[in-house]
Amino acid sequence: MDRTKILVVDDNPSIRKGLSVRLRANGYEVLFAEDAISATAALVTERPDLVILDLGLPAGDGFVVMERLHNHDRLAHIPVIVLTGRELAGNRDRALQAGAAAFFQKPVEDGTLLFAIRKALDVSRGELRFDE
């Protein structure tokens, strides 16, 4: 069985590295993108099972990536977890309204993030409803 593929989109290389170590240790395959353009390209070519998305990105922000994803028939089902350094006001509600499965400010506890990933994957695979 193929391993679950997670696309990490963040312009900070240390954040990408730290997340990859943690996610790989939990059995996930990890892909990277560092800006909105390469994130959109990776979504189309790699078809990840889930995206961990920063909001402050070069070449467009995380909201642009979410808009492109949700406007694409074959990608719209991919769950997005927003992990950002931006402030809550004006970003959390907007991200959730744009379709994010969860919103976290950095730094997030590893257990919290891993739980949200499992839950978002279960929901996208139809094994769980959002309200469970």
Cα distances (angstroms) measured from residue 59 to each of 22, 25, 102: 27, 31, 23
Residue partners of 93: CB distance under 8 A and separation at least 6? none
If one asks whether residue 125 binds another protein (CB under 8 A), the answer comes out as: no
Give the interface segment with another protein, choosing from 13-21, 57-65, 69-77, 124-132 (CB under 8 A).
Answer: 13-21
Among 1, 45, 73, 87, binds another protein (CB under 8 A): 87
Partnered with residue 6 across adjacent β-strands are: 30, 50
Our finding on whether 58 is near another protein (CB under 8 A) is no
30 closest CA partner among 14, 50, 13, 55: 50
Of 78 and 91, which has the nearer Cβ to another protein?
91
Compute φ and ψ for 42, nearest 5 degrees: -65, -35
Binding mask 100-119 for another protein (x = CB under 8 A): -----xxxx-x---------
Of 9, 50, 86, 100, which lies in the binding site for another protein, with binding defined by CB under 8 A? 86
Least gap, CB of 74 to another protein (angstroms):
32
User: Could you tell me the strand order of the sheet in which 80-84 lies?
Assistant: 29-33, 5-9, 50-53, 80-84, 102-105
Q: Is 90 helix (H, G, I), strand (E, B) or coil?
A: coil
Question: Are the CB atoms for 14 and 34 separated by under 8 Å?
Answer: no
Closer CB to another protein, 12 or 124, in the complex: 12
Among 5, 22, 68, 72, binds another protein (CB under 8 A): 22
Contact residues toward another protein (CB under 8 A) are 12, 14-15, 18-19, 21-22, 25, 56, 84-89, 105-108, 110
